[in-house]
């Protein structure tokens, strides 16, 4: 794996958003793993059920927390999805390189998610895994995608000592440069909702030029047909690894 720049394929959305949100998409984890393997991404991010079912041959970052959108928005909390014993067993079956836990910075339950993150940091340490934190703002004080909220959430990720910080894009290069400047850990960016291909490629370029350590793309890849998804992922990889 390239030590400095990362390309991950994220597929935790069936938990986060529900399968109904992706009605015309083949959501079989084996299809998503095939796309990731063909494009040779650095790692695939999935929940334990999908990992055990699809058995990726490429490195895996296990998503260890989740929430559903069936819960009222201001009551959503990222709960633990796995135990340490399951992580240990999984390590013997696949190339597990890390775990990923989400913290909704600014939510009413921020403290609980931070405590949970610390619990997973300890598990990561004991099992020689890196820990990625999805530091996503959920505050009434700023818009979720604003510079203020994202820079704040990313900085919390640094201070809590996540190995890699994953957060949203602010939507423009200039403000994201400031996010990166104030984030002293590698920062990878979520791809966001499906957009037109050219627009997405430009966004990836902007994110990387702003100083990000990589991209953890999901919907913009696997919401496309396999061939198109693999080609796009390869193109993103060239930009990320430049
Ligand atoms: P995308 O590239 O599809 O945005 O995926 C990245 C991701 O972090 C997923 O891992 C996660 O399910 C989703 O975004 C969360 O997005 P949101 O907070 O908007 O529900």
How far, in Å, CA of 11 to CA of 41, rounded?
Answer: 13
Q: Is 136 a catalytic residue?
A: yes
Atom 13 (ligand 1): residue with closest C-alpha?
13
pLDDT at residue 223, rounded to an integer: 98
In the predicted model, is pLDDT for residue 193 greater than 90? yes
How far, in Å, CA of 203 to CA of 15, rounded?
Answer: 26
For residue 2, which phi and psi values (nearest 5 degrees)?
-60, 125
How far, in Å, CA of 228 to CA of 222, rounded?
Answer: 9
How far, in Å, CA of 133 to CA of 160, rounded?
Answer: 9
pLDDT at residue 1, rounded to an integer: 44
Ligand 1 and 11: CB distance under 6 A: no
**86 in Cβ contact with 63 (< 8 Å):** no
Q: What average pLDDT does range 139-148 have in this prediction?
A: 97
How far, in Å, CA of 158 to CA of 165, rounded?
Answer: 7
Distance 219 CA to ligand 1 centre (A): 8
Distance 58 CA to ligand 1 centre (A): 21
Each residue of 67-102: pLDDT tens digit? 999 999 999 999 999 999 999 999 999 999 999 999
Ligand 1 and 10: CB distance under 6 A: yes
How far, in Å, CA of 85 to CA of 80, rounded?
Answer: 13
**166 in Cβ contact with 134 (< 8 Å):** yes
Q: What average pLDDT does range 156-180 have in this prediction?
A: 98
Q: Is the pTM of this model over 0.95?
A: yes
Distances in whole angstroms, Cα of residue 120 to Cα of each of 147, 164, 204: 28, 14, 30
Distance 87 CA to ligand 1 centre (A): 22
Select which of 136, 152, 168, 169 is catalytic. Answer: 136
Ligand 1 and 66: CB distance under 6 A: no
Q: What average pLDDT does range 133-141 have in this prediction?
A: 97
Q: Is 168 a catalytic residue?
A: no
Percent of the chain whose pLDDT exceeds 90: 98
Q: What average pLDDT does range 100-119 have in this prediction?
A: 98
């Amino acid at each position: 794996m390239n030590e400095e720049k990362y390309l991950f394929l994220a597929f935790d959305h069936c938990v986060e958003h529900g399968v109904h949100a992706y009605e015309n998409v083949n959501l079989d984890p084996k299809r998503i793993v095939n796309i990731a393997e063909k494009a040779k991404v650095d790692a695939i991010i999935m929940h334990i059920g999908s990992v055990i079912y699809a058995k990726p041959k490429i490195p895996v970052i296990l998503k260890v927390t989740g929430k559903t959108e069936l819960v009222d928005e201001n009551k959503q909390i990222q709960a633990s999805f796995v135990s340490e014993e399951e992580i240990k067993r999984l390590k013997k079956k696949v190339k597990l390189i890390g775990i990923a836990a989400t913290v909704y910075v600014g939510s009413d339950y921020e403290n609980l998610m931070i405590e949970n993150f610390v619990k997973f940091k300890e598990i990561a340490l004991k099992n020689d895994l890196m820990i990625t934190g999805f530091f996503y703002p959920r505050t009434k004080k700023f818009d979720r995608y604003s510079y203020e909220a994202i820079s704040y959430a990313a900085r919390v990720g640094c201070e809590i000592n996540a190995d890699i910080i994953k957060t949203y894009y602010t939507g423009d290069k200039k403000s994201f440069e400031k996010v990166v400047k104030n984030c002293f850990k590698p920062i990878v960016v979520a791809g966001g909702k499906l957009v037109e291909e050219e627009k997405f490629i430009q966004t990836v370029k902007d994110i990387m030029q702003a100083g990000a350590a990589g991209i953890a793309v999901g919907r913009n890849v696997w919401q496309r047909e396999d061939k198109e998804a693999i080609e796009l992922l390869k193109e993103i990889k060239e930009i990320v690894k430049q």
